[in-house]
Structure 1
Amino acid sequence: MKTIAAVMAASAFLAACGSDEADDETTTPDATDETSEETSDDSTDESTGDTIDYPDLSGETIDVASDWSGAEQANFEAVLDYFEEQTGASVTYQSLGNNVATALGTQIEGGGAPDIALVPQPGLVDQLVDSGDIVPVTENVVAQVDANYAETWRDLSTYDGELYGVWFKAANKSTMWYNVGVYDDAGAEIPETWDDFMSTLQLVSDSGVPGLVVGADVGWPLTDWFENVYLRTAGADMYDQLAAHEIPWTDESVVEALEILGDLWGDETLVLPGGAQRSFPDSVTAAFTDPPEAGTVFEGDFVAGNIADQTDAVVGEDANFYPFPSINGSEPAVMGAGNVAIAFNDDEATMALMEYLASPDAANIWIELGGFTSPNQNADTSLYPDEVSLAIAEQLTSAETFRFDMSDLTPSAFGGTEGAGMWSILIDFYQNTDDVEGTAQALEDAAVAAYGE
């Protein structure tokens, strides 16, 4: 079983997750007509020399589930389409929605678990290993992971010495997205510090467009806000301690982060009303619709995919990002996350798909489609569709400090359940930012219950 400390130790080295060799001649299957013609059933990635031997799986059906929907689901289904073409298998995808732990738990309890799930919570994987619901991957999958991933990613999915998962998708969740036209019209410059950020939002608001839009109806974007602020105000060591519940949520460091967020979220002159009822996708639309309803929206690199899917804005022209601002002189830091593929059986078809997900073939398809950062070292970074996507990946790999999404490291009942724990409590705080002490106490009470203390 993996401890939180082990996960933290591994995540400290995530700067090794990307490849800086953008000139590699790795091709993307199905990316263009030319590359499709060059790809055979026995696909070799030139950067590794490692061959994927796609088996004939005609007649086999593989069920896959994850939390992706909308643009992310469509892009992942394109990845699955290529596997189907190469093997003859039929792969069905189901979105588990925001409440992955509960949805997956219900399926397991009813005997209907998928063959593969790609989950965003290492804490949940830990629980599934402990309960015996998932299986270690086979030697072929291990070989792909060894060939294509930095040791840190193997460590993040290794339990009791056995590899259980493939980290397919990484996320840089320290990106602030802005409407270029709105900022230009307001005469706003890119802020580097939190004070400058607040001034920029005020300048944009004074121009006639609310400075910020927040989508908070299910709560997870608010946990990302908190984690970014806390990482910058309390530092990486305290972040690790809070994630492991070695310090209480009533600690002064938590109170300080909540006060900073309260000053922002509670300022009606800066924030577009309705955040507690607005979904995250709707917040992206609000910032990049025509005419725009707000100038800025915070969330991870996947915002690029939402912009492309939901609006007519062009990433890199109408939409761009800047790093989450420094607070109190904090050094550059990234809070990130990802989805790890885990298997509920070791059937040939299931393990063939796991092997594929660990290969550059799979990563390259989604890289080119956008809204995706791959932890696969041998993925072709030249395929990132624009300079913005590449800059996001480089920010992730060059950050002086990286920490994994705290809510994903905690027990699911506290950090990953809709209507409960951090999600619910931070929604309440968003609606009543005056109650900082009460919010800290509510978080501590929920953490004690979830950690079984």
Structure 2
Amino acid sequence: MMRRRTTLLASCTALALALGATACGGGPVAAGGGGKSLSGQTITVAGVWSGSEQKNFQKVLDAFTAKTGAKTQFVSTGDNVSTVVGSKIEGGNAPDVVMVPQVGVLQQFAKEGWLKPLSKTTEQSVDTNYASVWKKYGSVGDTLYGLYFKAAHKSTVWYSPDALAQAGVKPPTTYDAMLKAGHTVSDSGLAAFSVAGQDGWTLTDWFENIYLSQAGPEKYDALAAHRLKWTDPTVVDALTTLGKLFKDKQLIAGGQKGALNTDFPGSVEKVFGPKPEAGMVYEGDFVAGVAKDQFGKKIGQDANFFPFPAVDGGKAPVVSGGDAAVVLKDGKNQKAAMTFLEYLATPEAAAVWAGAGGFLSPNKKLDLASYSDDIARETAKSLVAAGDSVRFDMSDQAPAAFGGTKGAGEWKILQDFLRDPSDPKATAADLEKAAAKAYQG
């Protein structure tokens, strides 16, 4: 099946080059008229990716080179994108394109005056191929600056099929049923959940899924923009719901202390490693990559997922994250950079990484057959089907001082709440105090 699919993609590419227009439903030409129109030009692309992600993104860059003749160079920034990019701009060595992992950072770049608005061709592709929410998250005001190329599905609960089968439980569809199933798993000999409390960002993801389902998308948007205070009763309700899990020592591997000493890779290991301690771990679709690459699990057989369940009669949440491509004003090759983003907006570009694995695209024109396995297809289908009900990771929309700093802000406060979840109102007050300071700054 994959060999046939590869052949079809190759035929599409060849036809697109021959006609000077993208064939097979790919949208506008992303190669400046086809052929090798960018031969002799080089674009530099900066992003947080390393390891297998960088290796797979390189395949996309290579495909662009084959299509246009342009050379590419990838620069890994590490996690602190804004600092690295800012220093490169000041040093006169700005990259042409940056893959920005947070809405807040994209907005910061735009307000600094660092970004070029994307071309009409790219904007047309976004209007045609994406749910409108992705244009919203890529825009500042009415100007589109960012193209979301790679997305994450952060509403997936991963589990060991053997553990659930041994306990005699099936994947639940409500939060209360999930906790009840967790107790049954615990009674069978394993803790229900492995929680990565050492990494504060995982706790923000827990909160966001509960809040989106329980309070609804309008309240979620208001809280994300700090138009709603964190002392609002809906926040207290969500913390109370989350606290039911945190304070139940039967549900969490190692209890609260064990969770606070477990990082994200460690949380996956406790479910899918050689000595399992828990039956389930909540995090995004990227759990599959860790389970597969580090612990040799066959996704769909040894490791599977169910959607994060609905809370208190609300709708099942779909929280996402993603990396947006932006073009810097100070880059040395803006024309080629714009052409590269036009290419990234096509299903053709997304299909390259989808076939390599470890990737989801918000591009609804991407054929699901492009994905390398059934579980990736299922998560991608869920993400695209959610349409405009998708909500971007709330902490990634906040100022970094509140939503993205280790040992501070929301990360630290939710770690304290995991340690002692007895007073949700006090935690909400602490969150509001930190948020008010960060948003004013």
Asked if TM exceeds 0.5, the reply is: yes
The corresponding residue for 1:446 is: 434
Could you say which residue in structure 1 is the equivalent of 2:355?
A: 368
Query: Within 2, Cα distance between the matches of 1:141 and 1:28?
Result: 29
Q: How many residues align?
A: 427
| Aligned counterparts, 1:319-330, within 5 A | 319-330=303-314
Which structure has more RCO (C-alpha within 8 Å, separation ≥ 6)? Answer: 1
Instruction: Specify the alignment match of 2:295 in structure 1.
Output: 311
User: Following TM superposition, by how much is the alpha carbon of 1:143 offset from its aligned partner in structure 2, in angstroms?
Assistant: 4.7
Aligned to 1:234: 215
Q: Distance in 1 between matches of 2:62 and 2:364?
A: 23
The correspondence for 1:427, drawn from 415, 429, 438, is: 415
1:121-153 deviation per Cα after TM superposition (whole angstroms, max 9, x unaligned): 222222211210111123443454455334443
1:46 counterpart = 2:24: yes
Q: 1:245 to 1:152 in 2, by over 3 A?
A: closer
* Residue 31 of structure 1, CA deviation: 7.0
Range with bigger deviation, 238-247 or 134-143: 134-143
Once residues 69 and 180 of structure 1 are traced to their aligned partners in structure 2, the CA distance between those partners, rounded to angstroms, is: 31
Rounded Cα–Cα distance in structure 1 between residues aligned with 2:168 and 2:348? 44
- Counterpart selection for 2:371 from 373, 380, 384: 384
Q: Are the equivalent residues in 2 in contact too, given 1:218–1:419 (CA < 8 A)?
A: no
State the AA in 2 paired with 1:368.
G
Distance 1:146 1:45 in 2: 19
**2:139 aligns to what?**
158
> Residue 171 of structure 1: CA displacement?
2.3
Deviation readout 1:178-226 (Å, 9 max, x if unpaired): 0111111222221112221112222222222221112233321111110
Q: 2:339 aligns with which of 336, 352, 358?
A: 352
**Could you say what secondary structure the match of 1:314 adopts?**
coil
Q: Against the structure 1 CA distance between its residues 29 and 92, is the aligned structure 2 distance closer, same or farther, given a 3 Å change threshold?
A: farther
Alignment of 1:50-449 (within 5 A): 50-53=28-31, 55-58=36-39, 60-108=41-89, 111-273=92-254, 274-345=258-329, 347-399=334-386, 401-449=389-437
Q: Is the 8 A contact 1:71 1:305 kept in 2?
A: no
Local SS of the residue matching 2:325: strand
| Contact 1:29/1:82 (<8 A) preserved | no
Q: Identify if the C-alpha distance between structure 1 residues 99 and 226 changes in structure 2 by more than 3 Å, giving closer, same or farther.
A: farther
Q: Following the alignment from structure 1 to structure 2, what is the Cα–Cα distance between the partners of residues 415 and 29?
A: 43
Which one-letter code corresponds to 1:66 in the other structure? Answer: G
Contact 1:101/1:412, CA 8 A, preserved across alignment? no
Q: Would the alpha carbon gap of residues 29 and 72 (structure 1) be closer, same or farther in structure 2, given more than 3 Å must change?
A: farther
- Counterparts of 2:431 and 2:215 in 1: how far apart (Å)? 17
Aligned residue for 2:45, secondary structure, equals strand
Q: Deviations over 1:145-188 (max 9, x none)?
A: 45533444334323354331211122221111101111112222
The 1:301/1:173 distance shift into structure 2, 3 A limit, reads same
SS of alignment partner, residue 250 of structure 2: coil
* Residues 39-89 of structure 1 deviation map (CA, whole Å, 9 limit, x = unaligned): 338272311463332545455443323333444333223222322343444
Find the residue that maps to 2:206 and give its secondary structure: helix
With 108-117 and 192-201 compared, the bigger mean Cα shift is at: 108-117
Distance 1:272 1:106 in 2: 42
Q: Is the 8 A contact 1:287 1:294 kept in 2?
A: yes
Counterpart amino acid of 2:265?
A: P
Deviation for aligned residue 1:37: 6.8
Structure 1 residue 357, shift from structure 2 partner: 1.2
1:39 counterpart letter in structure 2: T
Residue identity opposite 1:191 in structure 2: P
Shift in CA distance, 39/249, structure 1 to aligned 2, threshold 3 Å: same
Q: 1-side partners of 2:11 and 2:217: how far apart?
A: 48
In 1, distance between residues paired with 2:251 and 2:353?
A: 35
Could you say what secondary structure the match of 1:427 adopts? helix
Letter in 2 for 1:444: E
Q: Taking structure 1 as the reference length, what is the TM-score of the superposition? A: 0.84
**TM-score with structure 2 setting the length:** 0.86
Structure 1 position 317, deviation (Å): 0.9
Question: Could you give the per-residue CA deviations for residues 417-445 of structure 1, whole angstroms, max 9, x where no partner exists?
Answer: 33332122222322333353332222111
Distance, in Å, in 2 between the alignment partners of 1:150 and 1:407 is 21
The answer for unaligned runs of 5 or more in structure 1 is 1-26
Cα distance in 1 for partners of 2:217, 2:9 equals 43
Shift of residue 342, structure 1, vs aligned partner = 0.8
Q: Which moved more, 1:305-314 or 1:156-165?
A: 156-165
- Give the secondary structure class of the aligned counterpart of 1:44: coil
Task: Tell me the distance in 1 between the aligned counterparts of 2:120 and 2:381.
Answer: 31
- Give the secondary structure class of the aligned counterpart of 2:157: strand
* TM-superposition CA deviations, 1:90-133 (whole Å, max 9, x none): 43334444444455445445555432222232222222112101
1:251 maps to a residue whose letter is: D
Change beyond 3 A, Cα 1:235–1:312: same
CA distance in 1, matches of 2:137, 2:342: 17
CA deviations over 1:298-328 (Å, ceiling 9, x no partner) = 1112222232222211111111111112221
In the TM superposition, residue 294 of structure 1 has moved relative to its aligned partner by 2.0
Kindly provide the CA deviation profile for residues 248-267 of structure 1, in whole angstroms up to 9, marking residues without a partner as x.
21222212212222221233
CA contact (8 A) 1:28 1:365 kept: no
Contact 1:30–1:82 at 8 Å: present in 2 too?
Answer: no
Partner secondary structure for residue 51 of structure 1: coil
Q: Secondary structure of 1:211's match?
A: strand
Compute the RMSD of aligned alpha carbons: 2.9
- Is this contact kept in 1: 2:231–2:428, CA < 8 A? yes
Q: Once the 2 structures are TM-superposed, how far is the Cα of residue 239 of structure 1 from its aligned partner? A: 1.5
